Structure formats: structure tokens, C-alpha cells
Chains A and B, each alone.
Chain A
């Protein structure tokens, strides 16, 4: 049967099992919207800005492990989506973004709402396609889903000119595609794994450092088993939180610029480091020259060969899917004769406990002003550590990462790589739609939330009972912190002196607003808000303006050069 391009797009989405598409209509995608209208398998979620659509699809993907799908029109639809696409790219999130394009005959003529989508998005996608011929449409969409979800995942853009959606062809959706130029590795090299196990067994001061790769490959069960088998200390990156249960004794907290004293010092002082699905980025190890230690052996597992030896020279590279590799590690460990050096490990743990005793995350619990850390701690207690927490970017993000103990993967959703303010609320929408029974909260700040605040309207339309925790310190907190530390307290443009009344704002969108000004009110307010199962509640916490995030490794410094409270 002959189908139009628009029908083919919708049929492909159905074949892929897509439940939600986040989007915004416009001229170039009208035929596709018309076909979406005629069916009810794929539910369309109308956002208020294309950036929100892509972040929502992203949050959906991060919380469900499915490919997130967004649909936007040509020109400004695409340029608005770019921030979302770049966000997903930096954090390796599997997504397919379908973009409308002007008709093929108009491409290159500066047509109305034309932009070079493939050109603009090229540096921030895993791959992109322009479908010039309807005969290629179904196969291209299949390839897009395949590329997005395999290997190191990432966003794929499919740009479809309007005339391609209008013409007809025979529809056939391929069950699988193979590409000679794209064959991602899965299994790690067994010889390398054997070598790695020998090194781990010989370690005196071992350390396991894991990142987003553990979450993306659903390997947290394997990681937990593996770390417990060895008895080694373990730290997670910002992207890796929830990969190993944060309540476990072997967990040293997050590492990096705002990592814990114990995690950073263990990282710096270890003799054998096992890095799993992490990429030694600047916010994690600081200056690689300061991190470098010729006596330290580094083993690195990653699905992307280009992540290995990029910033830090690696001794034993293992390219493969983290989960498959960890399974092999466990198998070899359980069947082999290698045993760890328990005496050395014991004294290493004594050292680590001494560092842990420094209590680097302490803050003034008797404060008369609300401390942001206190809010996150109460949020953790009230949600019993089982909520899906999204965040925006800045101080509140770091406090959420430090004080909410994630015990399961896919509960912590934030823009780690690109650091996109405005991510939190739309990501929470995607997470709530993907997990209708879960409690979803967005920890944000008064600066970040205003970057995508229009999505409160989307939340109303789809009855998304998200809980917004606004840590309102009337500053772009992280900017102010850097200005305090490194720019002589000159708070250039980091103060917001014309803030809206967030309670009224929430109410005007049809939601519930609360303002909390006293520490004693924090817990009751949170309890009340989370008891409102059906409502979106915007909680505006008026917090201490001067609070900073500690510890802090200043930019360009090494992990042992922390500023402590």
C-alpha cells in the first residue's frame, strides 16, 4: 500500500514502540501533525518552546532507558531545539529528533523558516540525516533509532523536507539495519580483562570510579555486585550517581569539583584506578597534570574508544559495553584464583575513614535562615530516597547531587556535560510521563527555572504533578560563588532584583504555589506538597544568600587542592 511520507513517519514511530513524542507544530511539519491527529498509538505532548520538547524527550529517555523522540518544525523550531540536542549529545542520551524542512526545491533559496539543519546540528549530534527521497524515509528512521541507541548512545536528527512528507511510496519498515561503517563493539577483550583483574588483585590502594556509562548501559546491578566482591571503595561522577547505592559503606560520595574530600583524596592517592563508563573530564579530575602520577595504574572501561586516553593516559584500555564487560569481570573474578590484598586494603580503608571523618559536607544546622542543603536533605527523607530528581544547573544542582542519596539508577537526571540551565522542568515532564506512578521532583533555582518556566503551562495541560523545589537565594548562586572566590566579591550581573512572585506565578498557571521562609517550615511544607499527589506544587524556598558549595576544587587545580568549609 502506498503511504505518504507523513504517514510513514508516524508508522515508523509506532513500529519503534514510541509512546510519547514531544513537539511543537509549524508549517514544515503540518502533514506529520495531521497524521498524528488521525491515530492514538503515539501520544503527542505539546510543549511551549522547542527547547522544552527536546529536554522533555531527554528526561523521558534518561528515566526509562527508551529512545526519546522530539518533533519540531524547520528554521526557528530547529534553532530552538539545538540547546536540547547539544545537552543530550554531551550526556550521550539516545534520542531521535525529527525536524521539518522546507520543500526540497526550496532548499538553499533562503526560503521562509529555512535553516541548514544538518549543518547547524552536525557538531552536536551522533549523526544526522536529510531525507531528500521518500524511498529512503523508512530506512533512515530505522537507522536513526539504531544509531541513537547502540554503542555510545546519542541524539540523531532526521530532517524531512515538507514535500517528502506529502508524496507517496510503498511502505516497508525494515526489521533491522546493518551499516558497514557502523559496528559498535560490545564485548571487551578477555585478555585485557584478565590483565585488569590481576592488577586489581595486586592493588594496595585501589579505587573504582564510575560514570554515566554505568547508568546508560543499565549496569548498576553488575557494578554493585562487582564492587562488593572486591571490597574496594567506589565513587560516582555527577552523571553516574545511582550507579552504586549511595547509602553503602563502600561508597565515598561524588568526586570532582564539588566532590567529597574522601572521594577526591582516594582518587588522587590510589595506586590502581578502575574507571568505568567515565571520561576523566575537567570537572572530575581537574587539571590532568596535577592528577597524573607515574606510579598509578589506570584501567579504563568504555564503549567509546575515543574516550580512552583522551585526557589521561590509560594503561589497560577495555573497549566494550560496560554491562557486558562487568559481567565478564565478575565471571573471571568468581572462577579465578585472584584474591585481593586484604591487609593492604584494610589500611587503605583506615586512611579513607580518616578522610571521611573530616565531614566535608557539614553545614550550619542551627541556622535561622533556610540552608539549601537542609531542604535537599529533608526532600531525601520525605521521598524516602526513591523519587526521580531532576535539576537545573548551578549550586542547587550540586547540593542535590551531594545531599540526595541515590540508591538506584535513573533517579538522578541533570545536564552534567553541557550544564544547561532550563533543563530541569522539561526533563521532569518527560520523566513524569515515562514514569506516571513515580514521584518526580525538580530541584531548581530562581535563575534556572526562569529559563524554561513556560513549561508550567504544559504541566497543566497534561496534569503532571511535578514538585518544584526552588532554592531561591536571589542570586545566580554558582556565578556569585565564583565571583566571591575569584573576582574580589564583585557580583557582576549575578543578582536578580526583579524576581517574580513565584507563588502567584504558579497559581496563574493553575498550579499550587508555596513560599517557605523559615527552617522549621521546611519539613511540614515538603510533607504537605508531596501529599498533594495530583497537583504540581511550586515550592519557593527563601534560602541563605551567602551559602556556598563545598568542597570546591578551583578550576585548573588538582583534586587534593580543595577549598573546604
Chain B
């Protein structure tokens, strides 16, 4: 099953490679991993999307907790949570396709953030599956480049991950 794990860890050089190294050394999957400092600059927050059986996920959370630099973590999939991913897509947009592409962006509530006479750069946020759906909905041949951030997640309501 797919799990989304949020980790607060010391914002120190090498902390990211400890996490990445743990996953490769123990053969766990990483579907995506995002990390950035938090409002408290001594802490980074990492979101890891992984796939595994309940036993594997239990081991992943235990092994992560064992890393000295990990302060706290939560498996967001254990409860209600919100998940968002950012995607930037550069598409070819010429002639009559230009209007069609604009319409698709509006339907998916994206934004065109850069324009030339030949292409658009589109910004889209949402769950991973929404981003997938957008890519499927537009003409595949029109896609010049995509870049995705990987998922970030946060618990709903009063579910708070804080030190």
C-alpha cells in the first residue's frame, strides 16, 4: 500500500543522505521525496511517499526513527490528510491548439506562468493523480518538458507534526 510519511529532522548537512541511504540499503521503495527547511530553520521537513506492506512500513518508520537526526515523524496515511504536488509543464502551443490548451489549463485550475509565441509553461498543483490526469488529457505530442516536485503532505484539522 502507498504511504506518505512526514519527517521532521535536524537541518544538518548529510541528514538527507542518511534517509536516502537507509531506503537503498534496506531495499525500501521511494516513490518521491521532498525536503526543505521549516519556519524553524534548525529543522527540515521531509515528505516521503513509499509503497510497502504493513510490516515493511512499520520497519520503515522504526528505522527512520532510529536515525539520530530524525526528531519526529508521522505516517500521514494513518489518518485524514491533504496531499499536494506541484508540476510545471512546458507545452507546444501554436495555432488552434493554443486556445484548446488554455481551456484545459482552466479546467484543471492551472495557471499559465510563461508564454512565448510557440509555447506555454503551465503551473498545476494537486494530488499526484490529478497531475497524471492533466498529462493524459492533453495531447502527448505537445509536451516539451515536465517537472514535478513530488508530494508534500499535511494532516487535516488538529493533526499537527511539530516539535
Contact = CB atoms under 8 A, between A and B. Distances in A.
B63 interface: yes
A159 to B, nearest CB: 11
Given A179-B68, A309-B55, A310-B59, A122 B163 contact: no
B38 to A, nearest CB: 14
B71 A180 contact: yes
A309 B62 CA distance: 11
Interface string B53-88: 001001100110110111100000000000000000
A112 interface: no
B113 to A, nearest CB: 36
A119 interface: yes
A304 interface: yes
A147 B67 CA distance: 11
- Give the size range of A's interface with the partner: 10 to 19
Contacts of B21: 122-123
Given A122-B18, A306-B59, A181 B10 contact: yes
A305 interface: yes
B9 interface: yes
B25 interface: yes
A181 B71 contact: yes
Given A181-B9, A309-B58, A122 B17 contact: yes
A127 interface: yes
Given A122-B17, A305-B62, A147 B68 contact: yes
Given A118-B14, A119-B17, A181-B10, A306 B68 contact: no
A182 interface: yes
Contacts of A258: none
A126 interface: yes
Contacts of A147: 68
Contacts of B14: 118, 122, 130
A181 B66 CA distance: 9
Interface in B9-41: 9-10, 13-14, 17-18, 21, 25
B62 A306 contact: yes
Main secondary structure of the interface of B (DSSP, over half): helix
B69 A181 contact: yes
Interface in A133-154: 147
Size bin of chain B's contact surface: 20 to 34
A300 to B, nearest CB: 13
Contacts of A181: 9-10, 68-71
A119 B18 CA distance: 9
Nearest to A151: B66
Contact of B66 (A119, A179, A306): A306
B68 A127 contact: yes
B35 to A, nearest CB: 16
Contacts of B25: 123
A310 B61 CA distance: 12
Interface in A305-343: 305-306, 309-310, 313
Contacts of A309: 55, 58
A182 B14 CA distance: 17
A126 B18 CA distance: 11
A176 to B, nearest CB: 16
Contacts of A179: 68
Contacts of B68: 126-127, 147, 179, 181-182
A122 B70 CA distance: 15
A180 B12 CA distance: 14
A482 to B, nearest CB: 25
B105 to A, nearest CB: 43
Nearest to A313: B55
A306 B163 contact: no
Contact of B163 (A118, A180, A310): A180
Contacts of B10: 181
A179 B42 CA distance: 13
Contacts of A305: 62, 65-66
Nearest to B10: A181
A37 to B, nearest CB: 33
Contacts of A126: 68
A130 B13 CA distance: 9
Contacts of A123: 21, 25
Contacts of B58: 309
A-B pairs with lowest CB-CB distance, top 8: A306-B62, A181-B71, A127-B68, A305-B62, A123-B25, A182-B68, A306-B63, A306-B66
Interface of B: 9-10, 13-14, 17-18, 21, 25, 55, 58-59, 62-63, 65-66, 68-71, 163
7 contacts: A123-B21, A181-B68, A182-B68, A304-B66, A305-B62, A305-B65, A309-B55
Interface of A: 118-119, 122-123, 126-127, 130, 147, 179-182, 304-306, 309-310, 313
Given A122-B18, A181-B10, A309-B55, 15 more contacts: A122-B17, A123-B21, A123-B25, A127-B68, A130-B13, A180-B163, A181-B9, A181-B68, A181-B69, A181-B71, A304-B66, A305-B62, A306-B66, A309-B58, A310-B59
